[in-house]
Structure 1
């Protein structure tokens, strides 16, 4: 039997759309967590910490509910890639990533009344060499200021890549649905 309430600890429309793919009914709640990294914190450790903190923050407001939270970080040439916030930052990120291998770390925390599951899934992407006019055309075509790495792989951003190496193709969007579905099943939630 599935629990009465599931809450997605996120204000991300991307994560909500992904979770909807699993056919689950859920509420959303913004966790209001400071997403700044600690000195020396690795990108995967940051993603895991933030996912866990977001789940804990929302669990305080919804006791006895199942809480799902996620976070994604990325690196390219040992530089942390964040949500760009501005077009200038997005352009700099894409220029930095072009022709390079980047790693994306998609973490999630599933918190239930009986325990929690915390996991990070890594995706490697190779961006093709890009000239500045291509970057500018892409940034004019797609809103990416709230996307780590300054692209949307589920949209036109796929055209920027040479390859993607992933065990879970949904992870690059932000929520690794294969791992999330398995975590739900481990806690007894019935999924197909």
Structure 2
């Protein structure tokens, strides 16, 4: 007979170094794993907040069989400008176009979370959001920023953990970590419901 630990080990279903750095703040042991999920398949009928939750859940679900006795964290981020979904730009021209559209506007970022306990076969989900108010950006500022940080894999075409903060007038929301892609306040609530002690 084997003795199981009181809580399953934690898997962060993301290869993002930024999300890993955020999770390390909680002083928890975890390992990262790449989810088997294609973000390009986006259901256009869903609202951006619902897409974030669904994608987070699907990312965590994709690792269920690989980690049958674990707590799997899935996360995903979407953004909406005037109700329209913003995607990762993928290239320089699209990033410039995206930031030009955001100039002087407010953009709401949604970070979905899913926590799957594969030992107990339970799933918990939630979403948090931040609203970013962009400064009026000149074409020169946009091109200079894009050239410096090349944020082609970032929703909204900026890296808030870097020079991207210089593009903003203000940010509104309850958790600054949400904008980086892992809302820790909500995650702590989910982990506590699983019996983890934090702190």
Question: What TM-score, normalized by structure 2, do the two folds share?
Answer: 0.92
Picking from 35, 39, 46, the partner of 1:41 is: 46
Following TM superposition, the consecutive aligned residue runs of length 4 or more in structure 1 with deviations greater than 3 angstroms are: none
SS of 1:102 mapped into structure 2: strand
SS of 1:149 mapped into structure 2: coil
Q: Deviations over 1:121-160 (max 9, x none)?
A: 0111110100110001111221311110011112111110
Q: Distance in 2 between matches of 1:173 and 1:49?
A: 18
2:143 counterpart of 1:136: yes
**2:69 matched to which residue of 1?**
64
Q: Distance in 1 between matches of 2:68 and 2:8?
A: 12
2:155 counterpart of 1:148: yes
Aligned length: 192
**1:54 matched to which residue of 2?**
59
Picking from 25, 28, 32, the partner of 2:32 is: 28
Contact 1:2 1:190 (8 Å CA) reproduced: no
2:111 counterpart of 1:103: no
* Unaligned 5+ runs, structure 2: none
**1:190 matched to which residue of 2?**
197
Larger radius of gyration between Structure 1 and Structure 2: 2
SS of 1:7 mapped into structure 2: strand
Q: Deviations over 1:81-110 (max 9, x none)?
A: 111110111111100101001110001101
Question: What TM-score, normalized by structure 1, do the two folds share?
Answer: 0.95
Q: Distance in 1 between matches of 2:44 and 2:171?
A: 29
**1:94 matched to which residue of 2?**
99
**Stretch of structure 1 that moved more, 41-50 or 108-117:** 108-117
Deviation (angstroms), 1:39: 3.0
**2:180 matched to which residue of 1?**
173
SS of 2:93 mapped into structure 1: helix
Q: 1:132 to 1:184 in 2, by over 3 A?
A: same
2:83 counterpart of 1:78: yes
Q: Distance in 1 between matches of 2:130 and 2:6?
A: 31
SS of 2:11 mapped into structure 1: strand
Contact 1:72 1:106 (8 Å CA) reproduced: yes
2:127 counterpart of 1:116: no
Contact 1:109 1:119 (8 Å CA) reproduced: yes
